[in-house]
Amino acid sequence: MPESLAPLDRLMSTLAKRAAERPAGSYTTKLLDGGPEAIGAKIREEAEELIEAAGESGDADREHAVYEAGDLIYHTLVLLAWRGISLDEVAAELARREGTSGLAEKASRKTN
């Protein structure tokens, strides 16, 4: 894999490979085999841990929040891999939203 690929792209590429090959001895395989219920339970757990860590103050707590964010992002990407969704698709959705305030978007939904 080219060194220039961003870490998130490299991780997603690994997870897509895990989803296709399901090698034994892989934590990702274990999660994927559990399907959206098992992966979703971990996402909820990791989201709670991130929220708790982010609410704490101090340098060590800041590092803790970064660590928990890593866990949450990893498990979220595993769910995308399970569903066969690429990071490019998510990036395209975010690009589509670029420049539109959430408040304006919400207001437009109410009038439609």
Ligand X SMILES: N=c1c2ncn([C@@H]3O[C@H](COP(=O)(O)OP(=O)(O)OP(=O)(O)O)[C@@H](O)[C@H]3O)c2ncn1[C@@H]1O[C@H](COP(=O)(O)O)[C@@H](O)[C@H]1O
Binding site for ligand X (CB under 6 A): 11, 14, 18, 26-29, 42, 70-71, 74
**H, E, C per residue of 17-33:** HHHHHCCCCCHHHHHHH
Residue closer to ligand X by CB (options 60, 103) is 60
Residue closer to ligand X by CB (options 23, 92) is 23
Rounded to whole angstroms, the Cα distance separating 72 from 78 reads: 10
Nearest approach, Cβ of 22 to ligand X (angstroms)? 10
Residue closer to ligand X by CB (options 28, 79) is 28
Nearest approach, Cβ of 79 to ligand X (angstroms)? 13
- Neighbouring CB atoms inside 10 A of 50's CB total 20
Nearest approach, Cβ of 88 to ligand X (angstroms)? 19
Residue 77 φ then ψ, to 5°: -65, -30
